[in-house]
């Protein structure tokens, strides 16, 4: 893409140079004839006439350059005719940036983006007909708005509004072929998440996500692993936190939203943390830190347990499975 842009720009410059050269040549020939034949324009002295021809040639060159640039680039058109509005837009965006920066630096965050906003969820049973899907979605939305207004307004957020056309959009989602297909294969979970970071005095802004409740990882299957070189400076607690973050990323790649992987929890560690630390500090070579599914992992796992349980093992060189 950059090569094409560079080529287009180079050709444009070359065209302008050739056009300017052509106009200069014509102007020079005209001026030469005016001077040689002592021609006059509007009964002006010949030497002034040649000056006028030279000036007119320069003006034609400038006009040609500007015209070609205007025809070739929308950015140039904007710079010539809409510069004031662009500057106003830039000023508005800069002001908005300053406000957001101030909010981030000094504001009090109430709810983070993509965080669950309710302590409940709804289930559309597998194979539900359209009327049932619409009914469940509308009821969940109404319950959600009521809950978030009661829960978060006391913390400084402004009540959520129900924009015009909301229920029509909910019905359209319930009627979509995608949701119908997913619901034909499994239960579909409805969750409410924060659409953006919500600070004190912000309007509550949420969205409903629909998640097919299908198996993501069976129990006792490996989710992710990474290598650790033994050494005195290894911190096993930090490594396990990094492993948990990697698990969250893998689960998101499998279709879970970030709201459903917010708490990856090691429920068992083999060997113990102290033994892991000892092995890594005194051992040699490369070890594998591995995360396994502690139970069958579904989207409802986090919603029901408040966590995604994993088992963490440190595999010594040559070891390749759970102890």
Same domain, 121 and 60: no
Give a yes or no: residue 322 inside a domain: no
Tell me what pLDDT residue 302 has: 92
Tell me what pLDDT residue 122 has: 93
Give a yes or no: residue 321 inside a domain: no
- Token pair recorded at residue 30: 């005209």
Mean pLDDT of the chain: 81
Q: Does 107 have pLDDT greater than 90? A: no
Q: Does 121 have pLDDT greater than 90? A: yes
pLDDT band at 283; cut points 50, 70, 90: confident
Beta 206-212 vs 198-199: how paired, if at all? unpaired
Q: Does 309 have pLDDT greater than 70? A: yes
In the sheet with 122-124, reading across from the earlier edge strand, the strands are 122-124, 188-194, 206-212
pLDDT for 31-62, tens place per residue?
666 666 565 555 666 666 666 666 676 677 77
What's CA 164's distance to the chain center, in Å? 27
Tell me what pLDDT residue 219 has: 93
pLDDT band at 132; cut points 50, 70, 90: very high
Give a yes or no: residue 37 inside a domain: yes
Domain count, the chain: 3
pLDDT band at 228; cut points 50, 70, 90: confident
Give a yes or no: residue 197 inside a domain: yes
Same domain, 204 and 234: no
Poorest-pLDDT segment among 96-110, 147-161, 291-305: 96-110
Give a yes or no: residue 285 inside a domain: yes
Same domain, 174 and 233: no
pLDDT band at 84; cut points 50, 70, 90: confident
Q: How large is the angle between the packed helices 273-282 and 236-253, nearest 10 degrees?
A: 110
Tell me what pLDDT residue 276 has: 85
- Token pair recorded at residue 261: 């992987």
Tell me what pLDDT residue 60 has: 73
Give a yes or no: residue 284 inside a domain: yes
Instruction: Point out the domain boundary residue: 81, 97, 125.
Output: 81
Instruction: Report the pLDDT averaged over residues 8-13.
Output: 67
Same domain, 24 and 50: yes
Instruction: Report the pLDDT averaged over residues 208-220.
Output: 91
Give a yes or no: residue 268 inside a domain: yes
Q: Does 295 have pLDDT greater than 90? A: yes
Angle ∠(293,294,296) on CA atoms, nearest 5: 70
Same domain, 250 and 293: yes
Pair 228, 279: CB distance under 8 Å: no
Tell me what pLDDT residue 239 has: 87
pLDDT band at 245; cut points 50, 70, 90: very high
Percent of the chain at pLDDT above 70?
Answer: 75
Same domain, 267 and 188: no
Tell me what pLDDT residue 23 has: 66
Poorest-pLDDT segment among 127-131, 194-198, 279-283: 279-283
How far apart, in whole angstroms, are the C-alpha atoms of residue 205 and residue 93? 21
pLDDT for 150-191, tens place per residue?
999 998 889 988 888 888 999 999 999 999 999 999 999 999
How far apart, in whole angstroms, are the C-alpha atoms of residue 17 and residue 124? 67
- Token pair recorded at residue 237: 């607690």
> Exposed/middle/buried for 148, CB within 10 Å: 0-12, 13-18, 19+?
buried
Q: Which residue has the higher pLDDT, 86 or 146?
A: 146
Q: The domain containing residue 10 runs over which residues?
A: 2-81
Q: Does 217 have pLDDT greater than 60? A: yes
pTM over 0.75: no
pLDDT band at 139; cut points 50, 70, 90: very high
pLDDT band at 109; cut points 50, 70, 90: confident
């Amino acid at each position: 893409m950059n090569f094409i842009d560079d080529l287009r720009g180079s050709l444009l410059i070359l065209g302008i140079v050739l056009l300017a050269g052509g106009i200069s040549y014509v102007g020079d020939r005209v001026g030469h004839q005016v001077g040689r034949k002592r021609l006059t324009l509007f009964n002006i002295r010949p030497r002034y006439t040649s000056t006028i021809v030279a000036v007119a040639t320069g003006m034609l060159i400038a006009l040609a350059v500007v015209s070609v640039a205007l025809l070739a680039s929308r950015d140039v058109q904007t710079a010539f005719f809409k510069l004031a509005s662009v500057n106003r837009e830039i000023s508005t965006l800069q002001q908005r940036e300053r406000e957001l920066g101030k909010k981030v630096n000094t504001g009090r965050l109430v709810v983070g983006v993509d965080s669950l906003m309710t302590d409940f969820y709804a289930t559309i049973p597998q194979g539900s007909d359209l009327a049932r899907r619409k009914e469940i979605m509308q009821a969940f939305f109404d319950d959600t708005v009521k809950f978030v207004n009661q829960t978060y307004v006391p913390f400084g957020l402004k009540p959520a509004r129900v924009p015009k056309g909301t229920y029509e959009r909910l019905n359209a989602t319930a009627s979509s072929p995608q949701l119908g297909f997913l619901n034909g294969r499994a239960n579909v979970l409805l969750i409410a998440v924060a659409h953006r970071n919500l600070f004190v005095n912000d309007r509550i802004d949420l969205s409903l996500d629909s998640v097919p409740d299908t198996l993501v990882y069976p129990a006792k299957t490996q989710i992710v692993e990474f290598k650790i070189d033994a050494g005195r400076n290894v911190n096993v607690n930090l490594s396990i936190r990094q492993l948990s973050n990697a698990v969250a990323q893998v689960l998101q790649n499998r279709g879970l939203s970030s709201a459903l992987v917010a708490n990856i929890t090691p429920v068992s560690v083999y060997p113990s943390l102290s033994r892991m630390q000892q092995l890594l500090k005194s051992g040699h070579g490369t070890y594998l830190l591995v995360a396994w599914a502690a139970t069958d992992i579904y989207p409802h796992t986090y919603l029901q347990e408040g966590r995604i349980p994993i088992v963490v093992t440190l595999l010594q060189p040559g070891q390749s499975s759970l102890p």
